[in-house]
Amino acid sequence: MRSLRERVADTRWRRRLAARRSVNHTYRICVGVFGGLVVAVGLVTIPLPGPGWLTVIAGLFVLASEFTWAERLLEFTKKHVKRWTDWVNTCAVWIRVVIALATAAFVYGVLVVTLHFVGVPEWVPGWVPLWR
């Protein structure tokens, strides 16, 4: 099975870019900057509600289209996410509930701390249990 980077490199548009060294170099820099920004945003948003890890994996996917090291890191990440998911699926239901509650408590705590520093928006109703 060919890697993502090899499949992208074999496309017609990518071969045309690769034929011109300066364009190829500029393209790789743009992919690196964009993928790096997506990974950075994902890392910042991991503790916040939302798709933090999904954003990190999407950024790695963008980087893996051009860089071997990112492809290896993406494969490592996919392998460990699968191991974690398989392990959780073999656990008893009460352990899954504890994991879900711990995750929800952590996310809620990060949200409260973030809103404490940033400030609670005025549109949030007063009955919502957040620091004011």
User: What ranges do the domains of the chain cover?
Assistant: 4-89, 91-132
pLDDT tens, N- to C-terminus, the chain (132 residues): 788 888 888 889 888 888 888 888 999 999 999 999 999 999 888 877 778 889 999 999 999 999 999 999 999 998 998 999 999 999 999 999 999 999 888 888 887 787 778 777 777 777 666 554
Cβ neighbors of 63 (< 8 A, separation 6 or more) are: 31, 32, 35, 36, 39, 70, 74
Q: What type of residue is 107?
A: V
Cβ neighbors of 91 (< 8 A, separation 6 or more) are: 99
Which parts of the chain are beta strand (E)? none
Taking every pair of Cα atoms in the chain, the longest distance, rounded to a whole number of angstroms, is 62
Query: Which pTM was predicted?
Result: 0.70
